[in-house]
Chain A
Amino acid sequence: MGRIILEQVTKSFGDVNVIPPLDLEIEDGEFVVFVGPSGCGKSTLLRLIAGLEDVSSGQISIDGRAATELPPAKRGLAMVFQSYALYPHMSVRKNISFPLKMAGLDQAEQNKRVEAAAKVLNLTDYLDRRPGQLSGGQRQRVAIGRAIVREPAAFLFDEPLSNLDAALRVNMRLEISELHNSLETTMIYVTHDQVEAMTMADKIVVLRAGHIEQVGTPLDLYRNPRNLFVAGFIGSPKMNFIEGAEAAKHNAATIGIRPEHLSISKSEGQWKGTVGVSEHLGSDTFLHVHAKDLTSEPITVRSDGEVDIHHGDTVFLSPQDDKIHRFDKEGLRIS
């Protein structure tokens, strides 16, 4: 069980207010991702839930139990750190069994659970090694092993994949998702990478400067971003924004259109432009089109991988009308 409720939680470091009053409910078994640019307070929020930082005001409850005053050890949560934070002087076995030893489990039970976890995480052959003798991915797995053995109410992940190389990151992303499917335990995952957020989350919490900008399922945020910030943050490549006369035609201060909702043609279309850089990914091609009379930023267009358009070509872009997002002067969505 792991239902976590934050009520009017604030955090200040000296005079700096990092988290303004914030309310959030995390349901049991949910995979929640906190995402936002660096310095947005997402790690602080996680540390408040973990109990590694004290809240300045407000209440936190875990499973209906007031947890605001509880030390981290008493909250029944497990955390995986960005740096893995393994105990360098202990073997993998001792690392994983450490929380069990702290909980006072007998040796037989400890061994049973460590071996079960090691099997799930492919660590059986490494149990007697020290963390220093392991690769980055293996260390990450040990950190996860240490978290799962104690069967916590919820797992907290603080940017766990940012120290891994790209290929490994994709693998570990899948493994963590698999783990969530099999354990069905609440997971709170902090990342600045919107791809991780989109691919893993049941629910995404987009944060900026300590404020929650929007909470919703990945597709919710993708389809109905509440404001310009969320619109620009969710989705890759990011949404194109157009202001001025073109936006006014749609009764908006700004309109947004995603690269995948633009079609490109050499002969006809609504907006005229010149092709700048084109990025060929094989399956897709991202074209950066300069349309000076619309916007000073190049407009990104997603096209298929075999597209026959080159640098310097004149092209025409046509947005899908029902996929245009409209925003008012304050940057809020007009529905």
Chain B
Amino acid sequence: MARAVTPARKATVTVFAWGVGLLIFFPILWTILTSFKTEAEAIASPPSFVGFDWTLENYSTVMERSNYFLHFLNSVVISVGSTLIGLLVAIPAAWSMAFVPGKRTKDVLMWMLSTKMLPPVGVLIPIYLIFRDTGLLDTRTGLVIVLTLINLPIIVWMLYTYFKEIPVDILEAARMDGASLRAEIIYVLTPMAVPGIASTLLLNIILAWNEAFWTLNLTAANAAPLTAFIASYSSPEGLFYAKLSAASTMAIAPILIMGWFSQKQLVRGLTFGAVK
């Protein structure tokens, strides 16, 4: 029997949902607010919410001091590049595992996932040395390679789950209908796989955009993406919360906007398969 939805229950749930939502969003909101404060107001106690003198000074300082567009461009190249190369490798891999599974398919998948259990810092030194010796340190190419590799297990897993959801019956129907392998892929499989591929793409761009461990450790100035740009404002000479917040806001803004516009696709992607 379905539970009765009383107005009181509905109100409780609504309040609770808003509470959780705000809790999650609060740090981002606080960062954005702080970015419009002066340094003094940023550390004032008690903090003020909106009753401060709004200023754009932090933004202009940040723009003056660092080359935002270089970092922005680096972020775009690194996140989009690594995701696209990752997809190029992962689509055939996930495809074959979903449609022609072998005895060891499950093991291979688990093994791929297990690589994500390794603490990255454990391989930092060897990778750093390899990068140093091959001249990949502080290059976009180097970062694209390393981010492709670390996100590949997730890309493969996501695509695998998607492809698994495509009913085999439909592919068999296509075969019965006289479709060759090529026609089956073009007319039936691809159109059904595209939504899955799209949300994998979006999610991985976000993951790569926000990745900080490798991007901070393997870059200096040339290839530094926005994560490194933020980090450069948490300097040892003193804390500049307002400037740090301005830099953070500028770094997350593009991905936030992209996420907003592709919300529907992303939510579908993340909950896909949960409900039939």
**Which listed residue, A52, A86, A87, A102, touches B178 by the CB 8 Å rule?**
A102
Q: Is the CB of A73 within 8 A of B167?
A: no
Main secondary structure of the interface of B (DSSP, over half): helix
The count of A-to-B residue pairs whose CB atoms sit within 8 angstroms is: 59
A83 to B180, CA, bound (A): 22
Q: Is the CB of B175 within 8 A of A81?
A: no
Mark contacts of B145-176 with chain A using CB atoms, 8 A cut-off: 1 yes-contact digit, 0 otherwise. Answer: 00000000000000000000001011011111
Residues on A with C-beta less than 8 A from B173 are 79, 81, 85-87, 146
A99 to B191, CA, bound (A): 17
- A249: CB under 8 A from chain B? no
Q: Is the CB of A99 within 8 A of B177?
A: yes
Give the distance to chain B from A335, nearest Cβ to Cβ, in Å.
Answer: 42
**Which listed residue, B172, B177, B192, touches A88 by the CB 8 Å rule?**
B192
The residues in A between 35 and 93 inclusive whose CB is less than 8 angstroms from any CB of B are 50-52, 71-73, 77-79, 81-83, 85-89
- B206: CB under 8 A from chain A? no
Residues on A with C-beta less than 8 A from B213 are none
Mark contacts of B70-111 with chain A using CB atoms, 8 A cut-off: 1 yes-contact digit, 0 otherwise. Answer: 000000000000000000000000000000000000000000
Give the distance to chain B from A177, nearest Cβ to Cβ, in Å.
Answer: 22
Q: Given A98-B187, A102-B183, A87–B170 Cβ distance below 8 Å?
A: yes
Q: Is the CB of A146 within 8 A of B177?
A: yes
Main secondary structure of the interface of A (DSSP, over half): loop
**Which listed residue, A73, A78, A83, A102, touches B169 by the CB 8 Å rule?**
A83
A224 to B178, CA, bound (A): 41
**Which listed residue, A77, A79, A82, A102, touches B179 by the CB 8 Å rule?**
A102
The residues in A between 220 and 250 inclusive whose CB is less than 8 angstroms from any CB of B are none
A71 to B192, CA, bound (A): 23
Q: Is the CB of A77 within 8 A of B191?
A: no
The residues in B between 201 and 247 inclusive whose CB is less than 8 angstroms from any CB of A are none
- A103: CB under 8 A from chain B? yes
Residues on A with C-beta less than 8 A from B185 are none
Binding site for B on A (CB under 8 A): 50-52, 71-73, 77-79, 81-83, 85-89, 98-99, 102-103, 146, 150
Binding site for A on B (CB under 8 A): 167, 169-170, 172-180, 183, 187-188, 191-192
* Residue contacts A-B, CB under 8 angstroms, 5 given: A51-B175, A52-B175, A52-B176, A72-B172, A79-B173
